[in-house]
Structure 1
Amino acid sequence: MSFLKKLFGGGNSESAPAGDKVLGEEGYKDFLIKAIEMRAGSELQLAGIIEKSIGGELKTYRFVRADRMSSKDDLVALAFNKGRQIIDEQGERIFS
Structure 2
Amino acid sequence: MAGFLKRLFGGGGEETSNPENQKPNEIYKEVEIRANPMKDSSGQWRVAGTVTKNIDGVNATRKFIRADLVQGKDEAIAASVNKAKMIIDQNGPSLWKGDDNQPV
> Normalized against structure 2, the TM-score is what?
0.67
Q: Which has the larger radius of gyration?
A: 2
Please, which runs of 5 or more residues in structure 1 have no aligned partner? 1-18
Structure 1 counterpart of 2:69, which letter?
Answer: R
In 2 relative to 1, CA 36–23 (structure 1 residues): closer, same or farther, beyond 3 Å? farther
Q: Distance in 2 between matches of 1:47 and 1:32?
A: 14
Summarize the alignment of residues 1-96 of structure 1 with structure 2, pairs less than 5 Å apart: 20=18, 22=22, 25-41=25-41, 42-96=43-97
Q: What SS does the aligned partner of 1:86 have?
A: helix
Cα pair 1:20 1:37 within 8 Å, conserved: no
> Would the alpha carbon gap of residues 88 and 63 (structure 1) be closer, same or farther in structure 2, given more than 3 Å must change?
same
| 1:41-73 deviation line (CA, Å, top 9, x unaligned) | 122111010000001000000001001112111
Runs (5+) with no aligned partner, structure 2:
1-16, 98-104
**CA 1:24–1:39: 2 relative to 1, 3 Å:** farther
Structure 2 letter corresponding to 1:91: G
**TM-score in terms of structure 1 length:** 0.72
Greater per-residue strand proportion:
1
Runs of 4+ in 1 over 2 A off after TM superposition: 19-24
